[in-house]
Structure 1
Amino acid sequence: MDQLKGMQSFVRVVETGSLSAAARDAGITQPTVSKTISNLERTVGARLLERSFTGLTVTDAGKRFYEQAKRVLDAYEEALADVHGAREQPSGAIRVSAPVGIGQAHLSAAIQHFLETHPKIQVELILNDRMIDLVEEGVDLAVRLGGELPGNLIARKIASSPRVLLASPQYLDRFGAPAALEELADHNFVRYAWLQGGDRITFHREGQASEVAVRGRFRINSSHAVRECLASGFALGMAPLWLVGDLLQSGQLVRILPAWEAAPHEVHILYPSRRFVPVRTRALIEFLQATIPAWPGMEKV
């Protein structure tokens, strides 16, 4: 049992980044956590953490041990769930990663609803538009929109959202609407800064594909800032319906060249490809799999 507690303390230190944070989470003192880690290192026969005045660094041996320890702890929790009947009331902490835009627009509220129906679960939601290493960051699952998916993760595609061309009525009053895709090059086109393909975008219409160049003086690495820019009338552009569906419905934005769409935003749930997925994580995966396709602007796949 001491070794199990040692693994639990070590995993939490890695995931929180400090002895003091791990101690606060466990409700014990920092010296107790430090002693537990030292005892674990003696048992393992290797240094797992390098300690310095600037903080902690996980050693190569520590990184390998962390991955194995997570599997052991997941299997332990799975066994407890079977014995105690915790499948009906899962418990524990879940770390979730998601893009900032969809996290602010929909996911945060959805997780709050999930927590209302699962009172013994805690969720840490980490919003970041960059793809992160789930194992290295101690993340249990991630929600991702499009892009290449890591081959070492389990990926479930659960929904998609069409990406369409839009402008505000104010913009169209000032500059007119493009009558063909080629005319997009004559307009101020705001785009997401990390959009794959750069200034060339491929649009589709009834099986036909057309790649066009767009030009604009404003690039933004925030989907919500793109939304605000479109609504203000500064530029026209492209956005997924999950981001702008309400603005279309209210008339603040209108579709242009509506027959053409870019490749949709595909929504995936990712989680580490390990054998044991904790009951609490499975519960959240199943909840998101049922909930996300019902969000405005989403389509079930």
Structure 2
Amino acid sequence: MDRLRAMNVFVRSAELGTLSAAARSLSTTQPTVSKLIASLEASLGVRLLERGPARVMLTDEGLRFLESARRLLEDYEEAVADLDERTRQPRGLVRISAPMALGELKLNPLMLRALQQYPELQVDLMLEDRFVDPVEERFDLTVRIGGALPPDLVARELATWPRYIVASPEYVRRHGRPRALKDLARHCFLRYPLQTDDAVTLTGPDGAVDLPINSRYRINHAVALLDAVRDGAGIAFQPCWMVNELIQRKQLVRLLPQWTGPSQTAHMVYPRRRRQPMRVQVMMDLLTREIQSL
């Protein structure tokens, strides 16, 4: 029996609550998970898990063994990471989850550069806008924009981006340039479907102001919304990281530049552990540096 593998299977089963969930997270089968845990229990001479119809529960012995198993697995990963550091070459797989727009526009090219720089590194970049639990879904790092932060995970703030009021040059030619906040009332705004309020809070020389807005078109994909703005369909509040280059290239126009919309805040979220493997630490440093510079 591979004891390290069996212990890893036991830890995942205890964390996720079912053998089937542990099997999925480890890309194996439920019978294999069950067999490995049974072998581990036989070798220890104790029962670690009580198998129920829906979930598994830790026995008293399993609860005591769980923390020791976690520490041993972390020690093993640290030993492997130490060997990597001695060769100064990160190797192995790093699994990262990120929002779709940020991943598509910024992180995908960044990952491609990282793979060129570190030939023994592997990256799984999963782009989803939903909340991803890095423990349950086995991600080393997740990048989150907005939303509540889970208290049982580490959350490092990466950047805060103001939202600019932007439109295409063609839209401005057809509909005119707003000169004051009150002028925005006659313009059409492009928004996300979840933004159901008829007003948005802007911050500027007069402090915070609630501005009523009119919206005929809502779309739930940030890149598609940006494309609609570039095509002249309306005005939008866009985070500066998405539009700075387009403004510089005069493909978009920033309107009322003294005013900004609600800011976006990005966090890097990851499981608590004593030490990150070198491959993960390299990606953490890269994401921190690059996202802060957007």
Name the structure 2 match of 1:177: 177
Describe the SS at the equivalent of 1:217.
Answer: strand
> Would you say how many aligned residue pairs link Structure 1 and Structure 2?
281
Name the structure 2 match of 1:26: none
What do the CA deviations read for 1:222-246 (whole angstroms, capped 9, x no partner)? 1101101101111111101221223
* In 2, Cα distance between equivalents of 1:152 and 1:251: 44
Equivalent residue runs for 1:195-274 within 5 Å: 195=195, 198-206=197-205, 208-274=207-273
Q: Is the 8 A contact 2:84 2:278 kept in 1?
A: no
Deviates more, 1:227-236 or 1:267-276: 267-276
Name the structure 1 match of 2:47: 45
Asked which structure has the greater CA Rg, the reply is: 2
* In 2, Cα distance between equivalents of 1:192 and 1:230: 13
What's the offset of the Cα at 1:147?
Answer: 3.3
Deviates more, 1:41-50 or 1:248-257: 41-50
Equivalent residue runs for 1:143-182 within 5 Å: 143-182=143-182
Q: Is the 8 A contact 1:41 1:48 kept in 2?
A: no
Q: Is the 8 A contact 2:23 2:33 kept in 1?
A: no
* In 1, Cα distance between equivalents of 2:155 and 2:107: 18
Q: Is the 8 A contact 2:41 2:48 kept in 1?
A: yes
Describe the SS at the equivalent of 2:97.
Answer: strand
Q: Is the 8 A contact 1:74 1:278 kept in 2?
A: no
Q: Is the 8 A contact 2:203 2:209 kept in 1?
A: yes
What do the CA deviations read for 1:107-139 (whole angstroms, capped 9, x no partner)? 011122222222333221111112222212211
Name the structure 2 match of 1:54: none
* In 2, Cα distance between equivalents of 1:48 and 1:70: 19
What do the CA deviations read for 1:85-107 (whole angstroms, capped 9, x no partner)? 45722333221110000100010
What's the offset of the Cα at 1:69?
Answer: 5.7
* In 2, Cα distance between equivalents of 1:159 and 1:32: 43
* In 2, Cα distance between equivalents of 1:87 and 1:194: 49
Equivalent residue runs for 1:1-301 within 5 Å: 2-8=2-8, 11=12, 14=21, 17=24, 21-22=27-28, 35-40=35-40, 45-46=47-48, 59=56, 61=58, 72-82=72-82, 85-86=85-86, 88-195=88-195, 198-206=197-205, 208-294=207-293, 298=294
Q: Is the 8 A contact 1:101 1:224 kept in 2?
A: yes
* Cα separation, partners in 2 of 1:84 and 1:216, compared to 1, 3 Å: closer
What's the offset of the Cα at 1:154?
Answer: 1.5
* Cα separation, partners in 2 of 1:59 and 1:174, compared to 1, 3 Å: farther
Q: Is the 8 A contact 2:203 2:260 kept in 1?
A: yes
Q: Is the 8 A contact 1:185 1:215 kept in 2?
A: yes
CA RMSD, 1 decimal: 3.3
* Cα separation, partners in 2 of 1:157 and 1:214, compared to 1, 3 Å: same
For 1:116, the aligned partner's letter is Q
* In 2, Cα distance between equivalents of 1:66 and 1:235: 56
* Cα separation, partners in 2 of 1:68 and 1:213, compared to 1, 3 Å: farther
What do the CA deviations read for 1:146-188 (whole angstroms, capped 9, x no partner)? 3332222222222233310011122223322333223333221
Structure 1: unaligned runs, 5 residues or longer: 24-29, 52-56
For 1:182, the aligned partner's letter is K
What do the CA deviations read for 1:266-299 (whole angstroms, capped 9, x no partner)? 22211123333222211210111122223xxx2x
Percentage identity across paired residues of the two chains: 38
What's the offset of the Cα at 1:67?
Answer: 9.1
Describe the SS at the equivalent of 2:214.
Answer: coil
Task: Give me the TM-score of the superposition, normalised by structure 1.
Answer: 0.78
Describe the SS at the equivalent of 2:112.
Answer: helix
For 2:24, the aligned partner's letter is G
